[in-house]
Amino acid sequence: MTKILALTGGVGGAKLALGLSKILGPKEIMFAVNVGDDFEHLGLHISPDIDSLTYALSGENNQELGWGRSGETWQFIETLGGLGGEAWFRLGDKDLALHVRRAQLLKDNKTLTQATAEIAAYMGIQHTMAPISDDPIRTMVNTADDELAFQHYFVREQCKPAVIGFRFAGIEQAKINPVIEAWLQNCDGVIICPSNPFVSVAPILQVPGMTEAISHLPIIAVSPIVAGMALKGPAAKMMQELQIPTTAKAIADQYKGLINGFVLDKTDAQSIRDLTIPAIATQSVMVTLEDRVALARECIRFLGTLQSK
Ligand code: FO1
């Protein structure tokens, strides 16, 4: 039986994760999720990447916004703004219920893993979505003037400040989620979803012991950069600011020494000759559910052709 760990964060990652979940059952694939985007806000614990995956796998994702829950209304946040409260981070009414429920579970001494699993079960999700760690990891974005908490950079400042680097506060003390460690005891391979390598995947891989725990396995990464542009989010802008070429090859280079297979979009097929590892070019832009499933199928097939290291 196939047993795969997929590393995911953000909306692009959740799209491929949905495709993978349609082909592989809960005993065949587990999702290790970034928690660097998490923050405490209005007394609630917000876990945006877990939220995006929860809504994607339950079919409840808001397709217009890309994030949040479908069929959303905004009375809470508008009323809060009218009372002088912080309204820049738009918590929809339905989404708010999830955050309140999570806050209650955490207050009842459940771990983030347990809270995520309990909410997932209520939403009909059978696959395991495991936060990479139950310990706090907080992505801080360094700009020329300031250090910004990730959601302050991403939502409040709309990714406008130029980045000069990142810091993952708490990561040195963070322990790998035991649920993920147990899964890795007999795992056949790892898929790095088309997530931002700097702020979605790095805070997963940099948890102490994580790269060592997977380095013996076949690992493939899917490029979030297609034809020089990010499929979603600020990856391309960040690369320009960090003076990294905005190419699929540069994404492969970010994972150099770790991955032994790379998936890029068919429009970037000519870049395969610049790579020193096996690579495939396929349609990686996922618009429909069929696109998500087709890319997932390609990834599983490709991973199966790679040898354990
Ligand atoms: N993204 C936005 O651009 N604006 C928002 O107001 C916003 C609110 C929000 C609330 C809950 C949640 O889970 C996600 C939310 N996001 C919002 C998306 C979030 O910032 C991103 O998904 C990630 O952190 C980047 O991958």
Domains of the chain with bracketed CATH:
4-307 (3.40.50.10680)
The rounded distance, in Å, linking the Cα atoms of 8 and 234 is: 16
User: With a 6 A CB cut-off, is 19 part of the ligand 1 pocket?
Assistant: no
Total Cβ atoms within 10 A of residue 252: 25
Q: What are phi and psi of 227, to 5 degrees?
A: 50, 40
Which of 236, 154, 224 minimizes the C-alpha distance to 195? 224
User: Residue 27 is which amino acid?
Assistant: K
CA of 12 to the centre of ligand 1 (A): 13
- For a mutational test of ligand 1's pocket, the pick from 40, 54, 89, i.e. the residue with the most ligand atoms closer than 8 A to its C-beta, is 89
**Using N-to-C axis directions, what is the helix angle for 112-122 and 93-107, rounded to 10°?**
130
Going by the DSSP 8-state scheme, the letter that residue 265 receives in this structure is E
The rounded distance, in Å, linking the Cα atoms of 167 and 110 is: 27
* pLDDT computed for residue 231 by the predictor: 80
CA of 155 to the centre of ligand 1 (A): 7
Output the furthest CA–CA distance in the chain (Å, rounded). 59
Pair 29, 127: CB distance under 8 Å: yes
User: With a 6 A CB cut-off, is 51 part of the ligand 1 pocket?
Assistant: yes
* pLDDT computed for residue 309 by the predictor: 62
* pLDDT computed for residue 189 by the predictor: 97
User: Residue 75 is which amino acid?
Assistant: Q
Pair 193, 17: CB distance under 8 Å: yes
pLDDT means per 10 residues in the chain (309 residues)? 93 97 98 98 98 98 96 98 98 98 98 98 98 98 95 97 97 98 97 98 98 97 94 91 96 97 97 95 96 98 87
* pLDDT computed for residue 114 by the predictor: 98
User: With a 6 A CB cut-off, is 42 part of the ligand 1 pocket?
Assistant: no
Pair 155, 89: CB distance under 8 Å: yes
User: With a 6 A CB cut-off, is 89 part of the ligand 1 pocket?
Assistant: yes
Pair 199, 140: CB distance under 8 Å: no
* pLDDT computed for residue 94 by the predictor: 98
* pLDDT computed for residue 74 by the predictor: 98
Look at ligand 1, atom 12, and give the residue with the nearest C-alpha: 48
The pTM assigned to this predicted structure is 0.97
User: With a 6 A CB cut-off, is 87 part of the ligand 1 pocket?
Assistant: no
Q: What tokens appear for 91 in the block?
A: 């918590």
The rounded distance, in Å, linking the Cα atoms of 120 and 304 is: 29
